[in-house]
Amino acid sequence: MEEAEASLSTMREENEALRVELAEAKSREESTAGRLHEAEGEAARLRDEVSQLRTEVSNEKKQKEDLQLRWMCKKRNLNGSLLWKGRNLQRITSNKWMIRLSLGIAAA
């Protein structure tokens, strides 16, 4: 009978040790699940941030292209204006020379 009681006592101790081990394992599992949930939330936040950054980059790229087109148009208009002014200046200079020649005025 003493052997049976000793065996029963050993089994109870082992059972208690297993319960403690199970409780620790459940605690670790809950902790791991919590960290996993946090990591999933962080991953979702980072995906949103990447998406937002891609949108911003796309918008800035379009803005840059628009500015380049506007700059090119202004440059062409300026070049055209300068060309027109240059031709007018040539005509004016030519007309002055013709007037001077017709009046017999020497170049100054």
From first to last of its 108 residues, the chain has per-residue pLDDT tens of: 888 888 889 999 999 999 999 999 999 999 999 999 999 999 999 999 999 999 999 999 999 999 999 999 998 888 888 888 888 888 888 888 777 777 876 555
107 lies in a domain?
A: no
Q: Determine, yes or no, domain membership for 28.
A: yes
Provide the 3-class DSSP secondary structure of residue 107: coil
How many structural domains does the chain have?
Answer: 1
Domain of 64, in residue numbers: 1-79
Q: Is residue 85 part of a domain?
A: no
Burial of residue 95 (CB within 10 Å: 0-12, 13-18, 19+) is exposed
What lies within 8 Å, CB to CB, of 97 at 6+ separation is 107
